[in-house]
Structure 1
């Protein structure tokens, strides 16, 4: 057993961070008021971050900063300025989603430790070396994985010197993280930008099975599974909750701290976990971890379940019936306990300060003497809660000489030392002991300032700000027309290739029968087809997909899974990044090309015209875009039919994945209908009622793209009739040829369509 495990706490605001530190967190993850995936959290300023890092380090607690969103092209200059400041702090690491940000950090800020966010949907062993090559030292695994899968992923991590992190408590997304577009499609509130509107927590019209919150699942808790996770080799136990308050954070972290420490000391779990029910919860489940995906994971109430748990406990304690008075008294007691928790936490953290440190520079010197600067400030010693005084002196190499014109006065000193009045220090300057009319070369003042900064920075040189070079936009080859491509998943649709010279992608399933070799022979017999690999390939499904890639070794593939991308690179197979890799910027294109020999990428459909047009195409790189497809809102490892139409099976098994092909719909209280579609060998998914149809981009941006794709899979259509595929192909070819009439024809053929994402963007 390796006792070197980390308890990682959420910190949505200053008080929550302080509460986590005082409760015994080994590390805290928090976000600034920009570039992080909890837009609804209070978050903190850079100035506050500096004080928080200092406070945390006094308590031997690390601070990780969340920069876990996709980045737009016009944000990289601002991002570089922020990173230039972060590298000169003692920040312990950054949490990243965007592949382009990995590239930026690896090239220009290599001293920053980088952790891969759960938004990267990391769930198979092939993704570990991909993320390692990007620069990640740690990977936050997908929340949907079970213990066996986590163990295998952690073992792969050890092989590549990369640690793993697992969520052990807090809210669960029903969707695969990083692949939820539920509110992005309607109003641009993307989870990939930290603005998730939590459509899964919304109330819907009562479903056939009698539920009003059919997508709402209980909170995650591995409180009693810690021994198994330790045995699996997991390094970091992560608690979700950056929109939760200080009392919640303190209660949960203190409970886990005691549970972990007790187990490491005695080999037994000593805590009963009851305190976890006294703060916000939607009831608790460990079903993902156990691999037991059953109906009990759902709860028809997205709000705090504390009172309901209390009532259930009263009943379990043997009461035949519970009176209204008993319930009222118990609820009053619970409320008092919550108030007491808050008061206790407030009292514990009130003395913790993140204020700037005082910094006094006293300048002194006489004619013929060096210029002396005596520095007075405070610093911390690890393990001591009180700051200690720090005093030191630096002296110039040259001696002061007489000068009437260029004397060192308060103005000259302020000009060169004012930068020390920053996020960490409150600067005061004293010059009363410096004789008037004296001077030294001004470059010596600059040298003294650098010496001061190095000493104040614990002996580490302050790095200069990074100015990003302008990226060159490489045009596509002259005279090369934009090409149409088709996505199919039905073998019967192969015949459509006789109607067109378009590239034809064949979408592979998410799941496979054990020992499946069907698709190896299939692609060898149909060499025109370009394999299209899905986003989620877990465990043996990844192994089966890998076998297809290795046995067929096609000339070209499209993949939405980075594990497959990494193996294609190793095999020398040309690959194109699919649309679900959420590619939104030039740096992501460069990262995939330079590090993995990627030949092209689909640009994310989440971004708008202006956001697309600024992307710089790398040399010899193809840019693609999907102009017609069903709009995926979310895909899940859990079953959407249990709470909508009902299902006779109490839990999901392998047979469900391979054989179920149901479809239904749910309607929210605004009257918006969403199709639930489950293809055979596919994950349950929810789609928008409208298809995405973007004919505008042909006139707007066709000069930027090498290819436009049309999705003919019928996935997400539910029971609605689909347009004739042969006619669709003809009209899209006419559209690319410049026919204006094709636009009207396509609008008539696709009766429910939208182009809102192309207008809204991120």
Structure 2
């Protein structure tokens, strides 16, 4: 253990889902708190704050040396941009310590129009490689929350790169819920319930009960909670700055307990004392049992728990070896009493913490021929301002109490309100021009801002509108089997070829495939990069780009996008980059020279219609594909059909190919699919098929896209790939009969996402 560490080397970052939890985090010793307003944040189910609440909270937190970060970590719709800009106009003049962001359009707006706001990249950006850190750094992120799935060695590498090359701090979740899917790439709630996790409305269907699986599990997607309480030394050695507690929908007694324990653990490390090992307090408040398996790099079957509810009673019943109902009731009562004590303790400690605005008292004094003097009292703060001009006598328009109130009622910041105006020491029948009084008011407001410049509000930035596409849209096809290349080539379509998540293991084979195709064809295969590229697989992606030198790529990973932009390679933002507004498109075009982008399939016709395409920019839309619901670094077969291998490792990633399904309690099927070289994925039972958009938004898109990979769902295709591709080619070419041919050939599909939107 190091003896030279200081507390300011670390930040304990606590959740604030409501006012009581925020206060609890403050008195428990949090260094910073993340919380959200009613809109634009990824915890819609939390009891979020009003803007007035926010300012009181910032003041209260700062009085206790605690920072406040505001969560704006959802994808943004085109129609929401004006409201978002209005909010930023207000935030930029508060004392907020930073904003947490997911949407690339919002990153762009912040960088170009609100550069004084400190920007942090959300866990929804799913950052897991050094290219992504470089990408986010260019968008002015000073902090990156790393993917929860990374192990300590992967974290250490990224922390070093972030600190040494980009001046970016690393943030890691150390306690709270684990997600079964990679954050920002999980659509299960959106598909199942119409509640998008990318919009803060996740209904947690991964915690739902499903029909009992072959191995007897009722909650096959439910993971234990994350706790790195025993890993403080490893996290410090890895260079992690911010230790983040998850839980914005948890209650104040939970927040207080977890933050208090972590506060002690961090302080003991900094004081070179032995680390705490007693975790009974953490088990007393809500938990699903604990695991640190991702951090340890041991992705095993024991990370699952077949019960999504509070595990506290079961834990302590095992600790005390309960063998009778009476003993179990004793444990329940003791646990209830402990929780009650915690709740009462927290209530007592936060009772006197107020976020109400402080009273502001103004006193005016002066005589004819003297300057006007204003004494201001705001809590313990005192200040005086004096006019440059002197008061003059008047018998017609003297300064009175009402006039002073009219001018100076706006003398306040977000923490104070004018309570009293005392003019008893001001002579009668005196006058001073309104312009001078306004100057004095401005001086007082400047004092309140502690010398910070007032930033004038801006109008919603206007983007240059581009005309509709004049040329006929092209058809693009995704495949993952070399045998399908000739089928696609015969139709003359743009061929995208899926690269695996385990790219390092297939690099030589893929290099050969793309090189030989280039030599035998006038066209090129377009490499399709996956969303997840960790460690050596990201390094392989860089090597692939350097060796193959493709003219154009599609990437679902911003790390690859950054490398491609540096190498001058045309790149298209894939559908998993969640592009939902014009500013996101302009961001990747102007900052990273993107050549095009897929528009998200989560949004509807109305939400797509007003998106403004940049000049010389290709716009893609997928009209047919299996609907991915989530991707996981965990094995999804442990709890379903079983797996002899207890832990998911590099061999599993490379070699395993398996498929099964789970059934909801309403008999809907979700397909679990594991392709060789890829992570486990969960798909909807029916493929997405949307032919209406071609007529609905004619001229909007330069490319329509179909996915012909061999993902087995319940969608039935009555013809072979060549025949299916021919019908889609006719459809995009405007042949009316193709619609009926598709309806005959492809059954059991869904276009619900296109109709419901976000």
2:16 alignment partner in structure 1: 11
Query: Would you say 1:519 and 2:510 are equivalent positions?
Result: yes
Residue of 611, 615, 627 corresponding to 1:615: 611
1:669 alignment partner in structure 2: 665
Aligned residue-pair number: 746
Query: Would you say 1:488 and 2:479 are equivalent positions?
Result: yes
Deviation at 1:502, TM superposition (A): 1.8
CA distance in 2, matches of 1:597, 1:522: 27
Is the contact between residue 99 and residue 119 of structure 2 (CA under 8 Å) also seen in structure 1?
yes
1:390 alignment partner in structure 2: 381
Evaluate the alpha carbon distance shift between residue 709 and residue 550 of structure 1 in structure 2; reply closer, same or farther with a 3 A threshold: same
Residue of 184, 190, 193 corresponding to 1:184: 190
Q: Secondary structure at the match of 1:195?
A: coil
Q: Secondary structure at the match of 1:213?
A: coil
Is the contact between residue 453 and residue 461 of structure 1 (CA under 8 Å) also seen in structure 2?
no
Q: Secondary structure at the match of 2:660?
A: strand
Listed one character per residue, the Cα deviations across residues 387-440 of structure 1 (whole Å, up to 9, x for unaligned) are xx2222223323344567766555654554444466422223526445566544
Residue of 576, 579, 583 corresponding to 1:580: 576
- With structure 2 as the length reference, what TM-score do the two structures score? 0.95
Q: Secondary structure at the match of 1:126?
A: helix
2:732 alignment partner in structure 1: 736
CA distance in 2, matches of 1:82, 1:300: 42
Is the contact between residue 94 and residue 414 of structure 2 (CA under 8 Å) also seen in structure 1?
no
CA distance in 1, matches of 2:718, 2:536: 33
Evaluate the alpha carbon distance shift between residue 188 and residue 221 of structure 1 in structure 2; reply closer, same or farther with a 3 A threshold: same
Evaluate the alpha carbon distance shift between residue 614 and residue 122 of structure 1 in structure 2; reply closer, same or farther with a 3 A threshold: same
Evaluate the alpha carbon distance shift between residue 572 and residue 619 of structure 1 in structure 2; reply closer, same or farther with a 3 A threshold: same
Residue of 290, 294, 304 corresponding to 2:296: 290
Q: Secondary structure at the match of 1:674?
A: strand
1:659 alignment partner in structure 2: 655
Deviation at 1:360, TM superposition (A): 2.4
CA distance in 2, matches of 1:512, 1:489: 13
Q: Secondary structure at the match of 1:493?
A: helix
Listed one character per residue, the Cα deviations across residues 321-380 of structure 1 (whole Å, up to 9, x for unaligned) are 7222111111111111111111111111111111111112334444444333322212xx
2:442 alignment partner in structure 1: 450
Is the contact between residue 375 and residue 392 of structure 1 (CA under 8 Å) also seen in structure 2?
yes
Residue of 454, 457, 470 corresponding to 1:462: 454
Q: Secondary structure at the match of 1:469?
A: coil
Query: Would you say 1:134 and 2:136 are equivalent positions?
Result: no
Residue of 65, 69, 79 corresponding to 2:84: 79
Q: Secondary structure at the match of 1:665?
A: strand
CA distance in 2, matches of 1:587, 1:495: 38
Listed one character per residue, the Cα deviations across residues 69-99 of structure 1 (whole Å, up to 9, x for unaligned) are 1111121221122112222122111111111
Is the contact between residue 576 and residue 601 of structure 1 (CA under 8 Å) also seen in structure 2?
yes
Deviation at 1:249, TM superposition (A): 0.6
Query: Would you say 1:310 and 2:311 are equivalent positions?
Result: no
1:637 alignment partner in structure 2: 633
1:318 alignment partner in structure 2: none
1:569 alignment partner in structure 2: 565
Q: Secondary structure at the match of 1:526?
A: helix
Evaluate the alpha carbon distance shift between residue 363 and residue 643 of structure 1 in structure 2; reply closer, same or farther with a 3 A threshold: same
Listed one character per residue, the Cα deviations across residues 78-134 of structure 1 (whole Å, up to 9, x for unaligned) are 112211222212211111111111111111111111111110010011111111001
Query: Would you say 1:99 and 2:104 are equivalent positions?
Result: yes
1:326 alignment partner in structure 2: 327
1:547 alignment partner in structure 2: 543
Deviation at 1:246, TM superposition (A): 0.9
Residue pairs, 1:590-739, within 5 angstroms: 590-717=586-713, 723-739=719-735
Is the contact between residue 13 and residue 43 of structure 1 (CA under 8 Å) also seen in structure 2?
yes
Please, which moves more after superposition, 500-509 or 203-212? 500-509
Deviation at 1:512, TM superposition (A): 3.5
Query: Would you say 1:276 and 2:282 are equivalent positions?
Result: yes
Please, which moves more after superposition, 403-412 or 740-749? 403-412
Listed one character per residue, the Cα deviations across residues 11-67 of structure 1 (whole Å, up to 9, x for unaligned) are 111111111111111111111111110011111111111111111111111111111
CA-based RMSD of the aligned residues comes to: 1.9
Evaluate the alpha carbon distance shift between residue 740 and residue 422 of structure 1 in structure 2; reply closer, same or farther with a 3 A threshold: farther
Query: Would you say 1:506 and 2:497 are equivalent positions?
Result: yes
Query: Would you say 1:48 and 2:39 are equivalent positions?
Result: no
- Please list every run of 5 or more consecutive structure 2 residues that lacks an aligned counterpart in the other structure: 519-523
Q: Secondary structure at the match of 2:627?
A: strand
Is the contact between residue 17 and residue 28 of structure 1 (CA under 8 Å) also seen in structure 2?
yes
Is the contact between residue 94 and residue 112 of structure 1 (CA under 8 Å) also seen in structure 2?
yes
- With structure 1 as the length reference, what TM-score do the two structures score? 0.95
1:246 alignment partner in structure 2: 252
2:240 alignment partner in structure 1: 234
Please, which moves more after superposition, 195-204 or 91-100? 91-100
- Please list every run of 5 or more consecutive structure 1 residues that lacks an aligned counterpart in the other structure: 316-320, 379-388
1:62 alignment partner in structure 2: 67
